[in-house]
Structure 1
Amino acid sequence: MSFDIEHPMIGEINRNGYPDMYQEKYWGIDYFGEEIMEGDDIVEIDGETILSENLERFLYEEYDAKFTTAE
């Protein structure tokens, strides 16, 4: 015996997607073309927006910054 019963909330999600409380909100694109979502940590330098996780890469590529450990 097979039942095709679906919880109403599952049907709603399948039709309309997750409610806003579950979806991240798009904010923009960073210097490297990566999506920035609401709540992401960003840095602004010389008019450019950079995800904080890309900051070291940005400083290296744009300013030739060198990262080392003090000895």
Structure 2
Amino acid sequence: MRDIEHPDVTRAQITGYPKVLMATQPKHCGTDIYDSEILAGDAIIVLPNGEIVLEENLEDYLIEHLGFQFKTAK
């Protein structure tokens, strides 16, 4: 007797996603200046020179490019 695998199982093994989730994957919208993936719905900051920074990378940008210092008040 031959083992038959369900097509959804095969698809999940190949793609890493079940069929249902494949249709709901967020749209890829590019990358920011740190090469972080930007997905539809992500909060971004557009710099005056047109470059884009993900909001989650803003602190790194402020430190590395503008010399900001983040400290805890004592």
- What's the secondary structure of 1:28's corresponding residue? strand
DSSP-derived class of the 1:39 partner: coil
Question: In structure 2, which of residues 33, 36, 58 is the aligned counterpart of residue 34 of structure 1?
Answer: 36
- Among 55, 59, 67, the alignment partner of 1:64 is 67
CA-atom RMSD in angstroms: 2.3
Q: Give unpaired runs (5+ residues) of structure 1.
A: none
| Runs of 4+ residues deviating >3 angstroms | none
Deviation at 1:44, TM superposition (A): 2.1
Identity %, equivalent residues: 39
The one-letter amino acid paired with 1:37 is L
The gaps in structure 2 that reach 5 residues or longer are none
TM (norm. structure 2) is 0.67
Scaled by the length of structure 1, what TM-score is found?
A: 0.69
